[in-house]
Structure 1
Amino acid sequence: MAGQDWFHRFMQRNKKLTIRKPEGLTKARIDGMKKEKVTYFFNTLETVVDNNNLRGRPESQKGAKDVVSMTSVERGENVTVLACINATGQYIPPYVIFKGVRKRYDLLLGMPPGTEVAMTEKGWVTEEAFKLWLQHFNRYRTPGKVILILDGHASHTTRGNGPHICELCADT
């Protein structure tokens, strides 16, 4: 059996290797990565792409919408940024959610053009904030049919956990 000495010598010989601390995942995220759920997601995605003649059209909005939560060191408050980019690098201006009740336009200072600011009680995405983001998305998205891939966060769907695919047509 390899011991500590072997491990240290191995690491000295392989300086490009690094030790990483695993990131914690919730049970819901782990369950969402089960083979049958991932297979179902990609089969559904393939069907939607084929049914809407979107294969090989990277200008279509087939990028992912990412939701990240960032904590400000100075104040310890949550800020959520909803971002969306497609395969050609075109992006929807960010939608930034701050903790608060009254919208503060001074928070837009220094933000990219078209950025929208919203306020929620905890600075997190709520179902209502997500609906407003969808309107923001529709103002800036590529014209025509697009596919929007969502991560299954509770604010994005009432159908349960897991990623979902939303077909959006030009008139929505």
Structure 2
Amino acid sequence: MPKRKRTSTAKKGWKTRNKISEVQHLGAVKRRKLWDPESMTRAMNTVISKEMGVNKAAEQFDLPRTTLKDRISGRVKHGAKPGPPGFLTPEEDQELVDFLVECCKMGNGKTKREVIDCVKRLMEKKRAKEGLQMIKFNGEGWWYKFMKRHSELSLRPSDPLSHCRFNAVSQSALDHYFVLLRNTLEVNGLMDKPSYIYNMDESGMPLDHKQLKRVALKGIKKVHGPSSGNKAQITILACANAVGTMIPPMVIFKGERLNYEWTRAS
């Protein structure tokens, strides 16, 4: 008579125990996240001042006993976040934020890739100085958490601006311009004649690559990035008066000879 195979009663029991332990583990994780930091501080002060023991304080303030005990003994620093330490210290993190803000103000905002590479090089130097092996650096994950920690920063498209033009713009220069404009209008009797006042401006349409997004403070209207300032472009000269009357624009193309196909629609 063939032997009967042992059914999976023990196997089922093993799976059931595994599921129970898994649920208990998840429950423990959930409970660890629920305690109040202020309650932990009050419980620690109560135990340190010897008003009550660890067990009684944990019960009164609704805290896990081992969690309270670890902080009383110094095994875990109170206020420390769970998980492995960050790549940068809080001081280095804030120093990086200040550096990025200053770079943006100077017209040399940093791109996402530049920031990640900068932190990676800093990590390599720190590990080499301490004689430790370089750990794997997840740039995308670090970037996401860094931007989440510092909501005052944002990634913005930048406008190309040469350094000479950036340095020439100041509040005093703008104020002086409007003083001269008002004096000119008053001397020539044009304050009440807007149809006589024309303004023209040229705008270049660059043919080079699009500017990358750069880190900047939220709320900044313009974010500038470095450029050579001499890229090939098509120039358009527009002119209009103060009541909105416009004259046909002048378009300047790069070339030694005029291509009449460009003037067909004009």
Q: Which has the higher strand share?
A: 1
- Please report the TM-score for the alignment, with normalisation by the length of structure 1: 0.47
Q: Which has the higher helix share?
A: 2
State the TM-score, normalized to the length of structure 2.
0.32
Q: Which has the larger radius of gyration?
A: 2
